[in-house]
Amino acid sequence: MASLSLKETEVQLDYQFKILLIGDSGVGKTSIMNRFTENKFNVEIKSTIGVEYSKKTMVIDQAVIQASIWDTAGQERFRSLAKNYYKGAIGALLVFDVTRPHTLENIQKIWLQEVEQHASKNIKMILIGNKSDLTVERIVKQEEAVNFSKTNNLAYMETSALNNQNIDQAFETLVREIYSEINSLPSEIRPKNLTQRKEHTPQVNQNNNLQIDKKNIKKKRACCE
């Protein structure tokens, strides 16, 4: 799966997708975000208070898309606060920890219900089993997680923020899926096209002759004469 990541200042964005990281406290949401946006991993990371935000720009099928990532606190005391952040979200990674089975149970008991209550029904989601590097401590078998994901109609991926395994792929899969269906989304949730870019490619008219984009040529002459 080939995509390109770009520095924020280099290009004009075509789209901005709001993506949420959701799941119990300690499953690795902040670590996944930090790995994706800064390629960093911090063992001594503090629990998120409220919501943290980061962003990364990607090129998917020639569209420049900024993933704006909202890392919500997993602790119950922050849950009412996090509700506001579901607004406008078009994608979510539902994260559990493969060493703690109750974090997968809570995807169903808590997090899918929170999404259903507060997010658009068109939100795209992927189930993420994080900490796949902890092979000895692992309790949730891959098969179990796959069955869970099928029952809940979700795609499933395993990641390790520590080893940088599947982190880019998880975000790219999600962004790609959103982008591929962007035109069929209802207008109230469809991300705006920020550029309405018109390509300066030659157009073929009814007589099958090539039409040259004259405005573009004029501009080029003016600039270089």
Ligand X SMILES: Nc1nc2c(ncn2[C@@H]2O[C@H](COP(=O)(O)OP(=O)(O)OP(=O)(O)O)[C@@H](O)[C@H]2O)c(=O)[nH]1
In whole angstroms, the minimum distance from the beta carbon of 66 to ligand X comes to 22
Whole-angstrom Cα distance, residue 152 to residue 125? 10
Whole-angstrom Cα distance, residue 177 to residue 40? 26
For ligand X, which residue of 20, 119, 161, 174 counts as binding (CB under 6 A)?
161
For ligand X, which residue of 73, 82, 104, 157 counts as binding (CB under 6 A)?
73
Query: What DSSP string describes 96-163?
Result: EETT-HHHHHHIIIIIHHHHHHHS-TT-EEEEEEE-TT-TTT--S-HHHHHHHHHHTT-EEEE-BTTT
**Encoded amino acid at 47, one letter:** S
Q: Does 114 bind ligand X (CB under 6 A)?
A: no
Distances in Å between the Cα of 187 and the Cα atoms of 60, 120, 170, 182, 192 are 21, 12, 26, 10, 9
Task: Label residue 79 left, alpha or beta by phi (over 0 means left) and psi (-120 to 50 means alpha).
Answer: alpha
Question: Per-residue x/- marks for ligand X, 29-68, CB under 6 A?
Answer: xxx-----------x-x-xx--------------------
In whole angstroms, the minimum distance from the beta carbon of 92 to ligand X comes to 14
In whole angstroms, the minimum distance from the beta carbon of 57 to ligand X comes to 22
Closest CB to ligand X among residues 64, 170: 170
In whole angstroms, the minimum distance from the beta carbon of 185 to ligand X comes to 28
Residue 49 token pair: 């208070």
Identify residues 2-31 at the interface with ligand X (CB under 6 A): 25-31
In whole angstroms, the minimum distance from the beta carbon of 192 to ligand X comes to 30
Q: Does 160 bind ligand X (CB under 6 A)?
A: yes
Summarize as ranges the residues that interact with ligand X (CB under 6 A). Answer: 25-31, 43, 45, 47-48, 73-75, 130-131, 133-134, 160-162
